[in-house]
Amino acid sequence: MKRIFKLILLLSIFCGCNKNDEETIVDNTNTEDMSEYKRAKDLICQFSERIDKEKGGTRSNTLQITLSLAGKKAIVIPKMITRAGEVSTDSVNMFVFDTEKDGKLGFAIATGKAEVGRVYAYVENGMLSDTIENEGMAYLVGQIPDIIRQDQLNSSLTRSGEQRTTHVSIPLVKTEWNQHYPYNAQMPTNGKCSMSYYYAGCIPIAVAQAITYYRKCPIAYDWDAFTVNTGVYDTNLIAPVSQFVRKVADGIKVSYRCDGTGTKNLGSTNDFLKGWGYNVERHKTNDVDKNLLYQCLITKNVVVFVGKKKKGTGHAWLVDGGVFEYSGNAMIGCTNIQVQAIHCNFGWNTSNNGWYAIKDGAYNRPVDNASQDGNNPTNDKNSPNGNYYTDNDYIYFHEAMGTEILW
């Protein structure tokens, strides 16, 4: 399920400024610009520190992050219709930063507007240009301008004076595997491909990593050895890990091609997981169910995301962490819980795994509200105005893993 996805518009939005001096990108004489820029930097640093703390660190041992401004884009926000019938507008600056942390290069996207600025993407290892080939990441990044507009138009919660609390569920899955060697070392080959073995497939890799997290399998594997590192670096693990991945692929009933390994949908995957004793719930819907997403993550469960534009394209990945915002406290309980961001494990080794904002309501519809239900004619799989993902599929896990406490 790999292909080069044309992202000319996306790249023009996010990569319009190429390594210019920060003074060139941000007008030092514009007080509002500078204020938003500095606050965006502060928010990213605070987010980075928060993630480290949630992983068990302390303020004294959290890793320093270095930020370098890579680009700025003014996002136009429609505000109101005037008496003359004209739409008045506002704008908010979206800042794109290159990051360096613990020797790894990544990127972050944030706004810094007073009261409603926040982090929209935070990736410690990866490049924004990877959206050209990583289709799941491409969609998540491509929707950020719409989320910024949504936040600016729906800022009543923030401005009402209501006390809001943020909770972070750190990533559950400790492995970061991919579709190549050594994970595909047991896959078949017909000798016609340019590689020794077929790709392991994004669905088998996502499911295999989920099973490695839950450790529930009819065959005994050394799960501790599988997870001692994020990847397989011990040659003694190549055989058992690749055999495990092959067993998952066989159970899912994948089909093999030189350019990818996969299935038509998650139906066979859902059946396979149930056969192995998992309590899973499959939804073949356009939008992710954010209530279920929240319930899964807060009970330490993962969700498999799958979507494709047309036959033979698309991607599958794991969502295994989240950032939630809520009202209330331990005495009266939590209310108005919102999923602000999700942590994605794309099955590309460590590359581009990170935190991405998601929209309220419709998860993956563009501004024109194209939909799968046939009510909108722009829902054309070949139309640039239609949904990027038109055959969405989700598997929500409901294993008994305990429950996180929000306060």
For the chain (407 residues), the mean pLDDT of every run of 10, in chain order, is 42 47 59 90 95 77 87 84 68 94 96 89 93 82 88 64 78 97 93 88 97 96 96 96 98 92 90 97 83 90 84 84 77 66 95 90 44 41 48 90 69
**pLDDT, position 24:** 52
Minimal CA–CA distance to 290: which of 342, 368, 212? 342
C-alpha distances in angstroms, 74 versus 49, 55, 77, 90, 148?
27, 34, 9, 10, 11
Q: Could you please state the CATH topology (level 3) that the domain comprising 202-397 is classified under.
A: Cathepsin B; Chain A (3.90.70)
Asked if residue 208 lies in contact with residue 244, where contact means CB atoms within 8 angstroms, the answer is yes
Helix (H) or strand (E) segment spanning residue 165 = strand 165-169
Residue 140 is predicted with a pLDDT of: 86
The strand ranges marked E within 19-160 are 65-81, 87-101, 104-111, 119-123
Decide if 301 contacts 398 (C-beta within 8 A). yes
pLDDT of residue 375: 40
Residue 376's pLDDT is what?
41
Q: Which pLDDT belongs to residue 330?
A: 44
Domain ranges of the chain: 8-161, 202-397
Q: At what angle are helices 267-275 and 202-214 packed, to 10 degrees?
A: 30
